[in-house]
Amino acid sequence: MPVNSRTALRICPLCEATCGLTLTIGGSAVTAVRGDREDVFSQGFICPKGAAFGGLDADPDRLRAPLVRRDGELREATWSEAFDEIAVRFTAVTREHGPQSAGVVLGNPNVHTMAGGLYPPLLLAALRTRNVFSASTLDQMPKHVSSGLLFGDANAIPVPDLDRTDHLLLIGANPYESNGSLCTAPDFPGRLKALRRRGGTLTVIDPRRTRTARAADRHLAVRPGSDALLLASLAQVLLAEKLADPGPLTDLVDGLDLLGDALAAFTPEAVAPACGVDAGTLRTVARELAAAPTAAVYGRIGSCTVPHGTLASWLVDVLNILTGNLDRPGGALFPLAATARAPRTPGPGKGFALGRWRSRVSGHPEAKGELPVAALAEEIDTPGEGRLRALVVIAANPVLSAPDGDRLDRALADHLDFMVSVDPYLNETSRHADVVLPPPPPSRSAHFDFALATLAVRNQVRYSPAALPLDEGAMDECEIHARLVLAVSGAHGAPWETVDEQAVAAALDRAGAPRELAARLGGTTGPERRLDLALRLGPYDLTLDDVLAAPHGIDLGPLRPRLPEVLKTRSGRVELLPGPIAADLPRLRAALGRDHAPLVLVGRRHLRSNNSWMHNVPALKGGSNVCTLQVHPDDAARLGLVHGEPARVQAAGGRVEAPVEITDSVRDGVVSLPHGWGHGRPGTRLSVAAADPGVNVNQLLDGTLLDPLSGTAVLNGIPVEVTPAH
Ligand SMILES: Nc1nc2c(c(=O)[nH]1)N[C@H]1C(S)=C(S)[C@@H](COP(=O)(O)OP(=O)(O)OC[C@H]3O[C@@H](n4cnc5c(=O)[nH]c(N)nc54)[C@H](O)[C@@H]3O)O[C@H]1N2
Ligand SMILES: Nc1nc2c(c(=O)[nH]1)N[C@H]1C(S)=C(S)[C@@H](COP(=O)(O)OP(=O)(O)OC[C@H]3O[C@@H](n4cnc5c(=O)[nH]c(N)nc54)[C@H](O)[C@@H]3O)O[C@H]1N2
Ligand code: SF4
Ligand SMILES: [Mo]
């Protein structure tokens, strides 16, 4: 290391694996990055995105000052000019048109920043709007709804006990590229290898033979969108062959007696044609699942962003319950994070309600307080009482990440009275904002994983203070969020610290703790004080000082059974066949007899890409490397497609052109394009990404296909037509 260099530790915020990084700092720059071998959780693991961490600091396109629109153009402004503009113009809209004229869009990086963990609830409370949209309805909302219905808590998501299980059934996930999701596990691939080394079995269900599938004992190339049928057949076999044995869970579960009838139609023979997997294999998988000493069923994106996403998510846990694997080591367990509220006394809870209100235009039911992001454009561009006129967008790029981005693009350009983006880039979405508030790069912010620790395969706690001071004129993202809360709620003049102090007081009241505790809190900033409070009120008797004294983290042990204290259903028990699920089963039965489309589209992720961003980091650039249309050789021959030549893909929402990649890693009848590409629109400032832009797969969707229970967009299994493009 050069003499004037030092190192600093920082948890990586770039995916859900939360690896500990060791940054080399030379002067005021990150000059090298490696995995922190002493990190209690990640033990030195790092991937190419983590290695590109310093590229985020170095990016010349990154915004370094707020932008305010003047005479139609976004111009650099001071922070106080930017917040003044919001205070005047945002509140003018809500004063005239009421609270429902305001909306909030929250994107994926909010689960990866301290600000995103601490302030959005305060913003929503200040705005009192029902127009809340997030990446969840492009992602995991089906799992929240299924957990809400089964366990009474939408955030109680069991995670597979990767390090101890004997048998993992992995559905619609490709952790060799994604590094895992709703299952925080640094070096997920290494943990899968260890599973097989200790004699365990890995089965992967995916229409593509992914890197994860290639590392498995068995790969079932399922037809897209049919996982709920497949999983229902596994449950049907367990019930019909009397293999179902919830063990000690039996006394905690309601509705077991009704499940046999509810799933009777879904025999392996009945689902096999729709799933494209033979009945004998399905029976074998079910029997092996029952026979394994311990097993865990885990489903992700491919099982969520499909027409029966909530049913598939529910069936994942039904299988965990029927095999006695829920809440036991080696099965699927509920993590206990250091900032979790202290465990409740077992007994009846408030339960989980769906559809407490509906969206204005299409009448979509809310789920977990959110409306489908696929309906955002119509809420803005459809005239009438209650139209969405003022928008706050935080760390989101729905013009690329959500269905029918062109319609949303026009809606943002033509129909909004006012828009704020909190984003470090002028991208396809933020280019429409009237005010852009840019946060600093991760090296300049402190980090704590409030959300991901509740999904981790091992209980542990780690905190990273900022590795570098803020640049001159920059503002910490926590302060940006706090000032935004003040600006939109008409309290513009107040010091931003009051936002945190009010949050501290409210948290103390909620916990029934004395207000005097506030005076004893450590930390040098408002967010640190709130973290200290959450740790003190949490289940491990920790303080911020304890965590600061352990820079590589504190291991809090393997996951432990704790189902009774998790349950918040009205019955105080697991509700195995909740009403909304039972009511949706006829729709699944109807899918049994339906003809499948001859050609359908699925997505995919690449290790060196991250949703719609990071394509401006030179180490990770390159739409043409990855944004290809994968086609099975038989389909290519039938359709006259040539490897490397462009193909035109046409679907209900529009058409795109992409180069053909002929590969037998996709099953026949399936083509695949990754998402997050399609850069280079006028007014964006992403020069590296724009030079090799790729195409926007979501332009093929019209936004009408949703999983009805969760409002999640159907992004996989889309009927398409493909022709040569020349
Ligand atoms: N077809 C298809 N579409 C998909 C998916 C798919 O599988 N297929 N996946 C979906 C999924 S799972 C998700 S999560 C969504 C993601 O979709 P989004 O959440 O809309 O978008 P991201 O691409 O993650 O972009 C996040 C934005 O956050 C900004 N950002 C980065 N770091 C920070 C930060 O520290 N602070 C702030 N304030 N902003 C930051 C980036 O510049 C970028 O503009 O995409 C979804 N879209
Ligand atoms: N490198 C990288 N890592 C990421 C991200 C990224 O963009 N890049 N994004 C992050 C985010 S926001 C998320 S949510 C996670 C997602 O993490 P994962 O869920 O692991 O995401 P994918 O890698 O897209 O894997 C989904 C798999 O589902 C398959 N699939 C598609 N349709 C179906 C279907 O109908 N049934 C079944 N069984 N499978 C199907 C696809 O072929 C694909 O292999 O990854 C996170 N990590
Ligand atoms: S796996 Fe995820 S958390 Fe780990 S270094 Fe890569 S991007 Fe960062
Ligand atoms: Mo996601």
For residues 632-649, average pLDDT: 98
* CA-CA-CA-CA torsion sign (530, 531, 532, 535): positive
pLDDT class of 3 with cuts at 50, 70, 90: low
User: What band does 241 get if pLDDT is binned at 50, 70 and 90?
Assistant: very high
First-to-final CA distance of the chain: 54
The residue written with tokens 């290790």 in the block is 607
Task: Give me the pLDDT at residue 2, please.
Answer: 62
pLDDT of residue 357: 97
Burial grade of 367 (CB within 10 A; 0-12, 13-18, 19 or more): buried
Instruction: Kindly write down the DSSP assignment for every residue of 460-517, as one continuous string.
Output: EE-EE--SSPPPTT---HHHHHHHHHHHHTT-TTS-THHHHHHHHHHHHHHHT--TTH
The rounded distance, in Å, linking the Cα atoms of 567 and 253 is 11
Average pLDDT over residues 379-407: 97
Q: What is the DSSP letter of 7?
A: E
d(CA 115, CA 111): 9
Distance CA 508, CA 33 (A): 39
| Angle between helices 141-151 and 579-592 in degrees, nearest 10 | 130
- Across 16-161, the runs of DSSP E, i.e. the strands, are 20-26, 29-35, 67-70, 73-76, 102-106, 132-134, 159-160
Mutate to test the pocket of ligand 1, among 392, 480, 613, 714 (most ligand atoms within 8 A of CB): 613
pLDDT band per the 50, 70, 90 thresholds, residue 646? very high
Q: Is 317 in the pocket of ligand 2 (CB under 6 A)?
A: no
Query: Given pLDDT bands bounded at 50, 70 and 90, which one contains residue 593?
Result: confident
65: DSSP letter: S
| Backbone CA torsion sign across 663, 665, 670, 675 | negative
pLDDT higher than threshold 80 for residue 393 = yes
Tell me, using a 6 A CB cutoff, whether residue 716 lines ligand 1: no
Question: Is pLDDT above 80 for 437?
Answer: yes
Would you say 14 and 35 are in contact if contact means Cβ atoms under 8 Å apart? Answer: no
359: three-class secondary structure by DSSP: coil
- 454/701 Cα distance (integer angstroms): 33
Binding site membership of 221 for ligand 2 (Cβ less than 6 Å)? no
**Per-residue pLDDT at 670 exceeds 70:** yes
Q: What is the mean pLDDT of the chain?
A: 97
User: What pLDDT, in 10s, does the model give residues 136-148?
Assistant: 999 999 999 999 9
Distance in angstroms (rounded) separating the CA atoms of residues 602 and 310 = 18
Ligand with smallest separation from the Cα of 33: 3
CB 121 within 8 Å of CB 102: no
Res. 621: pLDDT tops 90: no
For 181-199, write each residue's pLDDT tens digit.
999 999 999 999 999 999 9
For ligand 3, say whether the CB of 47 is within 6 Å of any of its atoms: yes
Contact partners, residue 570, CB within 8 Å, separation at least 6: 152, 348, 349, 350, 351
> Which protein residue's CA is at the shortest distance from atom 31 of ligand 2?
302
Which atom of ligand 2 is nearest to 611's Cα?
7
Residues with CB under 5 Å of ion ligand 4 are 139
pLDDT value of residue 1? 58
Distance of alpha carbon 381 from alpha carbon 608, whole angstroms: 36
Residue 531's alpha-carbon distances to 184, 461, 524, in angstroms, are 20, 12, 11
pLDDT at 422: 98
Spatial separation of the C-alpha atoms in residues 287 and 603, rounded to whole Å? 31
Average pLDDT over residues 403-413: 97
Q: Which ligand is nearest to the CA of 169?
A: 2
**Cross-sheet strand order for the sheet of 102-106:** 73-76, 67-70, 435-437, 418-422, 390-394, 102-106, 132-134
Candidate from 12, 140, 177 with most ligand 2 atoms within 8 A of CB, to mutate = 177
Angle in degrees, CA 464, 470, 475, rounded to 5 = 100
pTM beyond cutoff 0.75: yes
Q: Is the CB of 428 under 6 A from ligand 1?
A: no
Residues with Cβ within 8 Å of residue 95, at least 6 apart in sequence: none
Distance (Å) from CA 493 to ligand 1 centroid:
32
Ligand 3 near 200 CB (within 6 A): no
Residue 394 CB–ligand 1 contact under 6 Å: yes
The response to whether residue 174 sits with its C-beta less than 6 Å from ligand 2 reads yes
**DSSP sequence for 154-220:** TT---EE-TTT-SEEEEES--HHHH--SSSB-TTHHHHHHHHHHTT-EEEEE-SB--HHHHTSSEEE
Secondary structure of the chain: what % helix, strand, coil (to 5)? Answer: 35, 20, 45
Residue with the smallest CA separation from ligand 1 atom 12 is 139
Tell whether ligand 2 has an atom less than 6 A from the beta carbon of residue 679: no
CA neighbor of 335 nearest in space, from 419, 251, 460:
460
Q: Which ligand has the nearest atom to the CA of 228? A: 2
Per-residue pLDDT tens digits for 25-43: 999 999 999 999 999 999 9
Encoded tokens for 97: 């048109």
What gap in Å lies between CA 46 and CA 33, rounded to an integer? 9
**H-only helix segments in 330-449:** 376-381, 398-401, 405-414
The SS3 call for residue 593 is coil
Q: pLDDT > 70: what percent of the chain?
A: 100
CA of 53 to the centre of ligand 3 (A): 10
CA distance 10 to 16: 14
Instruction: Classify strands 646-651 and 654-662 as parallel, antiparallel or unpaired.
Output: antiparallel
3-state secondary structure of 590: helix
Q: Is the pLDDT at 4 greater than 90, yes or no?
A: no
**Residue 410 alpha carbon to ligand 2 centre in Å:** 29
- The predicted-structure confidence for 266-323, as pLDDT tens digits, reads as follows 999 999 999 999 999 999 999 999 999 999 999 999 999 999 999 999 999 999 999 9
Q: Measuring CA to CA, which residue among 684, 671, 686 is closest to residue 623?
A: 686
Alpha-carbon span 162 to 188, nearest angstrom: 8
CB 159 within 8 A of CB 559: yes
Which DSSP helix (H) or strand (E) runs through 283? helix 279-291
Q: Is 301's C-beta closer than 6 angstroms to any atom of ligand 1?
A: yes
- For residue 343, pLDDT beyond 80: no
pLDDT of residue 341: 87
Our answer on whether the CB atom of 222 is closer than 6 Å to any ligand 2 atom is yes
Angle formed by the axes of helices 477-488 and 497-511, nearest 10°: 90
Of 298, 289, 315, the residue nearest 172 (C-alpha): 298
DSSP track, 305-341 = SSTTHHHHHHHHHHHHHHTT-BTSTTSEE----TTSP
Q: What is the pLDDT of residues 494-512, one digit of tens each?
A: 999 999 999 999 999 999 9
Q: What is the pLDDT of residues 209-225, one digit of tens each?
A: 999 999 999 999 999 99
Q: What is the rounded average pLDDT of the residues 332-354?
A: 93
